Chains A and B, each alone.
Chain A
Amino acid sequence: MSALFFLQQCLIGLTNGALVALMALGYTMVYGIIRLINFAHGDLIMLGACLALTLVGAFGLEAAGTATAGVATWLGIALLVGLCGLFCGLVNVAVDRLVYRPLRDAPKLAPLVSAIGVSFIFMNIGLFWLGPADRSFPQLLPTANLLPGEGLQFGWKDLLVLVVVVPLMAALMVLVKSTRLGKAMRAVSQDETAAALVGVDVDRVIAATFFLGGFLGGAASVIYGLYINTIGFQMGFQNGLYAFTAAVLGGIGSIPGAVIGGLVIGLVRALSTAYVGERWAGAMVFAILIVILVFRPEGLLGRRTKEKV
């Protein structure tokens, strides 16, 4: 168990964690704005993966055998990310419009239970789409190591995760921090009524939030397919669970919190897989979640929520 081995596990953990973080953003953004835990988000990502698989077939993207990926492959992946993002964003907006918006003034439990229902509907659509068995997602990128030497492995796939995830997160931060949509989102999240009374169209801002969360989920689904290479109609549940845990760990409602939570979960999972055993990885993640929540119930970066009047 050398230092190199440890470093390698950290690298795997960070890459995995970036993927979890991208999924966690969808939970945290929606929670931040309407205090709803959108249980359907994991299954939305599954639907995105279904579309990605169908599109890979439709575009005729081939598994790469060479040491470097061609321009066509990269363009194809960019197109996949864009289309799946758009698809998931629009589906998320449609679900908000159809299911959550009519329940906006209902007690908080009603939209929560509806979200679970939506998750089942998505899962069944996925069952129709993918069929009952797990499907393998084509390996589009070469497996060559990008780092010199024999020690550390860092392939094209790992690079892809970072190349997609980091710019998306940066764009999101800029959007929320300094644009008028971001200001409106923060205003709605703090006081919906007051925001409406200064002329903010609350429903539109919420729809925009659902779109952004869905878009990131769609992007995550493509990356997931290319990175993990197996998708199935039940993948939404487990991934959703980890992503939701990441959001809670980081402080649900906080965007940097979701990113940090995702990275922490990725690291814990990779390290416990390497040093404790794979079957304990899940238990370790949730044990750490419990320990952190005992000392910081609001999560790593969350604010203590004041009871809303």
Chain B
Amino acid sequence: MKRDRPASATDIPLLDIDRMSMRFGGLIAVSDLDLDVPEGNIVSLIGPNGAGKTTAFNCVSGIYSPTSGSVRFEGHRLTQSFGPGVFWTALAIGLVVGLFTAAAAVDVDRLWLAVVKRGMAIDEPFTLETVRRRLRGYFRAELAIDQMAGKWRVVSADGRDVLAIRRDLADARSLRNQLQAAVTARRAGPGTIPDATDMAGAASPSQPQALISDDLLDRLAAGKARVRFRGWAGLLAGGLLGAAGTIAIWRRGRRSPHVVARAGISRTFQNIRLFSNMTVLENVLVGLDRAIPGGALAMLFRTPANRRGEEEARARAVEALQFVGLAEAANRIAGQLPYGDQRRLEIARALATGARLILLDEPAAGMNPTETTELAQLIRSIRDRGVTVLLIEHHMNMVMRISDRVAVLDHGVKIADGTPADVKRNRRVIEAYLGGEA
């Protein structure tokens, strides 16, 4: 399909919308839209209410991600690239999620019993060192000592299995050491009986084996491998899921409005969206943020570079305000401006970002004929500054007077695209606007 382009068009159109569709559930708002916006033109998108014009704008400006198709600006899709920042973030989040999963997998309840609860029973200073030692004990499935009802018990690391009860702490300690030796020996290999010399200081060397059944000894010996396996498995599974999830969320939001805006597309809204509690000048300055160098500390201490940046930004903001004729109102609160001025402020804010394509969503809505004429003049002078304009508008007079090209949408489908004169004569356009099968 060959399109007739105005003479000024270069090879690559500034904005190239290619078979873009947007569905909301079952509703198709925009269907396979193809639209080129050549640099330095005023292109209008018109159509009856509900034709999908604003949806198309939202897709272009990154508020929606199109269901299918692509939007290219100067030949590039405007998406965040997968940089080291994303990689490290995914890694860090994976690690944190992994640690939590590992804690869950090795049983938070037992971990808590092993590390904290026993601290309540034994009057031992609770320091980071204690926590470290008990955590290590838990992961090595070592035996521990616990106090209950004035008696000392030899217990498994998590305190679930009680192996023996003694009245005396020293007694319990030595018994714990013997039993630990037995468990360690069993771990080294079944059938290995600990050497008697290992049990130096034991009350009665032959006692430990008698105290615990073979079954329990096996279970305690296996405990270390089990806890470690669960820990690593949890870390790995949680880490992978966390990292993958982070990247999935990042992919979903990678075509975000601020990326699109920074690349050079800016827009205004059908229902004005100014920062209405801020002054007129501040509204414009928000768009100039990234022109100012320096981080948070530079801002707070106002380094020379930062101050110079602020001054430059201010000068550019004032220039943008002069361009739309609002320089005198610079210090007024935006929300208190008359309606027409608010619209022009929104245009100034969009222009000040340094955009090369500006999307205007019904800028003439609610304006009287004089204001509309002034607006038409303003839009022409925007183009003369070298900024391309894509316009949604219902004022047909204005559209036909100022547009270089007009595209017509109806029920989400483009039904015509050409010069104003062509479109005016197009039968499908007349049908769409007047209805019926004329």
Contacts and interface: CB of A to CB of B under 8 A. Distances in A.
A208 B62 CA distance: 23
A192 to B, nearest CB: 9
A198 B261 contact: yes
A198 B349 contact: yes
Contact of B300 (A131, A179, A187, A191): A179
B289 A200 contact: yes
Contact of B296 (A101, A198, A208, A303): A208
**B: interface residue count bin:** 35 or more
B93 A186 contact: no
Contact of B350 (A132, A181, A195, A198): A198
B119 interface: yes
B415 interface: no
- The B interface is mostly helix, strand or loop, or mixed, namely helix
A246 B401 CA distance: 58
A171 interface: yes
B257 A183 contact: no
Interface stretch (B7-15, B267-275, B389-397, B426-434): B267-275
B267 A97 contact: no
A171 B296 CA distance: 12
B286 interface: yes
Interface residues of A, number: 39
A94 interface: yes
A128 B116 contact: yes
B249 interface: yes
A194 B266 CA distance: 10
Given A132-B116, A181-B296, A200-B286, A97 B93 contact: yes
B388 to A, nearest CB: 17
Contacts of A197: 61-63, 257-258, 260-261, 266-267
Interface in A128-148: 128-133
Contacts of B337: none
Interface stretch (B69-77, B213-221, B226-234, B277-285): B277-285
Contacts of B116: 127-128, 131-132
Contacts of A124: 112
A174 B269 contact: no
B115 A128 contact: yes
Nearest to A95: B96
B256 interface: yes
Given A102-B249, A179-B300, A183-B285, A131 B273 contact: no
A182 to B, nearest CB: 8
B96 A94 contact: yes
A180 B310 contact: yes
Nearest to A211: B296
A274 to B, nearest CB: 36
5 contacts: A97-B93, A175-B296, A183-B285, A198-B261, A199-B261
The 9 closest A-B pairs by CB, nearest first: A131-B126, A198-B287, A196-B257, A179-B299, A199-B261, A194-B273, A187-B286, A196-B258, A190-B275
Interface of B: 61-63, 89, 93, 96-97, 112, 115-116, 119-120, 126, 128, 131, 245, 249, 256-258, 260-262, 266-267, 269, 271, 273-278, 282, 285-287, 289-290, 292, 296, 299-300, 310, 313, 349-350, 352-353
Interface of A: 54, 94, 97-98, 101-102, 124, 127-133, 171, 174-175, 179-181, 183-184, 186-187, 190-191, 193-202, 208, 303, 309
